[in-house]
Structure 1
Amino acid sequence: MKRYGSEIPPLYDLSKITSFVAYYTSEKDVFSTRALTDETFKEVSGPTYLCEMSHFHHLDVAIGKTFKYILPDVCDLIDSLSGYADDTKMRSGGCPANIRRFG
């Protein structure tokens, strides 16, 4: 409360985020909506990557057995950003078909 003068901190200006942000989203996510993801996606000023997984739930990525379908995409994305691979993955604008198929 001392810092913000309120129990709730102010909203962060997402346009200040200039680093790369990857979004893995799903319509079945109980913690967020696709509309909110789209709104956030537009506000970030840095490069972005969006992967829509049609049937995944929020925790599937972290603890679900379907994580094995997402991990290769995440690894490719990190390689693309770190210079271990070209930046094709980062510029692709979407996730591979196998994530959509298993999602």
Structure 2
Amino acid sequence: MPGRRQEFRRELTSFFDWYNEHRPHTTLQGCTPNEVYHRCFPENRRLRFEPRSNWPRGAPCAKPSSLVKGRPGGKVDLQVAFHAERKHLPIVKLRRAA
């Protein structure tokens, strides 16, 4: 943890930015605080990629329920970035593999 006040504030600001913008919250039904506050359409409600080929579209265990983009079983790439180049603040995304 940084010892200087300015470095400490910068670290806290970075964490709060990541926490509000990128981290889904269970109590907000998987939305981020920014999506709720700004009344944006939540990322977890958008069409999603399904890498499992035998996954049923209407599976009750996937909450919140969202539609599958394309056909189940497609290849995906896992992309991991880091907010403000901090390894403890990951931003994880799936992209369709080429």
Q: Which has the larger radius of gyration?
A: 2
Structure with a larger share of its residues in strand: 2
Structure with a larger share of its residues in helix: 1
